[in-house]
Amino acid sequence: MIHVIIIEDEKPAARRLERMLNRNGLEVKEKLPSVADAIKWLQHNKEPDLIFLDIQLSDGLSFEIFEKVKLESAIIFTTAYDKYAIKAFKLNSIDYLLKPIDEDELVIAIQKFQKLNSNNKTQVLDFKRIKELLQDETPAYKLRFTTQVGQHLKLIETKDIECFYSEDKATYAYLKSQKVYLLDGSLESIYTQLNPKTFFKVSRKFIINLNAIKDIISYTNSRLQIKLANYKQDIIIVSREKVKDFKTWLG
């Protein structure tokens, strides 16, 4: 039996991939959401035959895993990176699946793995070189998020998000279209994945998009109130300790 693990920080994407793999005769042994979890699991368990690997995880790039753990597992990348980063995978003859994953493309990738496996060919990956290519060609910021909507996996472009906010221990994305989607991960972990030139965490509750700011108003106790183009569900306040950094960010 082929042992498969998924390293993916977005739970809806991981669950959807697992269902597709199950339909195609592969059993997922473990789903791991972060670099730290993956390192710990791989250090204490038998090496899997095949890893489905997201590149940008909540606590860093997944290549950091292979700086700590030596593996000979075959790897298929699952990525939301754009066409420039994909060039890096092609240069290194690596399989990749662009999110949201198409099941037909998944089947082709599995068949390629099975052919290599049956011929006892080992996939040799130069992770250092791949990491360099990615850093050279693509900013290490999240370009899109996935969320579960009923039985469907929806892709949300980061540029279309006016703000992220936390409420009742959950994290939401508010879009220009005025739609709201529940996301996996804390507000803080999401903030580390965003381009700091475009997004700013104004308080413990809000991250705002620079391009969505409609007005900035003086508020009590030397704070600032932010009005966005569409979001009107709650008052957005820049906390007093963040006002100076916020003004620098604007400038």
Q: What confidence score (pLDDT) does residue 118 get? A: 75
The pLDDT tens digits for 200-211 are 999 999 999 999
Indicate if the pLDDT at residue 136 is higher than 80. no
126 with 165, same domain: the answer is: no
**DSSP label of 8:** -
131 with 150, same domain: the answer is: no
For residues 11 and 17, give the distance between their C-alpha atoms in angstroms, rounded to a whole number: 10
For residues 137 and 86, give the distance between their C-alpha atoms in angstroms, rounded to a whole number: 10
Looking at residue 220, which CATH number applies to its domain?
Answer: 2.40.50.1020
Higher pLDDT, 70 or 121: 70
Structural domains of the chain, count: 2
- What is the mean pLDDT of the segment spanning 178-193? 91
Give the chain's mean pLDDT.
86
- What is the mean pLDDT of the segment spanning 157-170? 95
- What is the mean pLDDT of the segment spanning 178-184? 94
Indicate if the pLDDT at residue 93 is higher than 60. no
99 with 159, same domain: the answer is: no
Q: What confidence score (pLDDT) does residue 87 get? A: 55
Q: What confidence score (pLDDT) does residue 106 get? A: 92
Q: Which positions ≥6 away from 28 have C-beta within 8 Å?
A: 4, 5, 6, 18, 21, 22
Q: What confidence score (pLDDT) does residue 92 get? A: 47
Percent above pLDDT 90 for the chain? 51
Longest dimension (CA), the chain: 70
Indicate if the pLDDT at residue 175 is higher than 80. yes
**Strands (DSSP E) found in the chain:** 3-7, 27-32, 50-54, 56-57, 60-61, 74-79, 95-98, 144-149, 152-157, 161-167, 170-175, 180-183, 199-201, 206-209, 213-219, 223-228, 236-238
* Domain assignment of residue 32, given as a range: 3-137
The pLDDT tens digits for 226-238 are 999 999 999 999 9
50 with 118, same domain: the answer is: yes
- What is the mean pLDDT of the segment spanning 123-140? 58
